[in-house]
Structure 1
């Protein structure tokens, strides 16, 4: 190696070690509320400013999350509101809950394994994820003065 590259190599190595040490020794603070949530959908990706809705607009977690279980964290929306009630949902659904108590929100008894079609709860009254989000957002916007006009879709949806 040419001698002129040695100082550059040492400087780059020092920066890399300092960056790695900083990452290990000073991890970022865990956020109580995620700053943003990206929701993929056919109408255009929505970048939901979670932190602004919670901190600037003053909404409580339970204003949007209707998870009435006694815990410090909320279940993923997709736990109950999937993209589709398909085989993927049926396979992953039981893994989404921390305990059998959560099952009783929709099931009469906690399932012990895969359910026969006739033993599954009716999905007619459970909105799919897209419908749940859109209904939740639009009803809140109507009640609290957020954008709701026909031409205001792109205030939330990316083009």
Structure 2
């Protein structure tokens, strides 16, 4: 009888441990390349869809998750590969492009805040801003260098 209790206790501990490990490892599978397309927000894309090389940015360029993924205050999130993340559109809810005339009279801080309400603004600020900083560090010019910063460098041409 005592042996049966010990066996059941050990089995319960092992099952609990396996459940804890599987929960800790659970998360979202992250594709090596992510097609930056959102059909629910955009009826039609006006430029080619960007193919974001997630694995390359994470492993080869050694970027932490928080370089791109942030909280509602802009602070980097402390994530590990496979953690669930919200899509950009969860917070940057406006689609299309901001009205440049409406932004013209705003202070730089208010202009940036208004642009970041847009999915377009958030993506371009995050990606292009990082690429410009990288280029400036590497070759001294934000607009020239190895990281793409122009429309055609990121958005492939689409068939017409």
TM range (shorter): 0.3 to 0.5
TM-score w.r.t. the length of structure 2 is: 0.47
If asked which structure has higher relative contact order (CA below 8 Å, sep 6+), I would say 1
TM-score w.r.t. the length of structure 1 is: 0.47
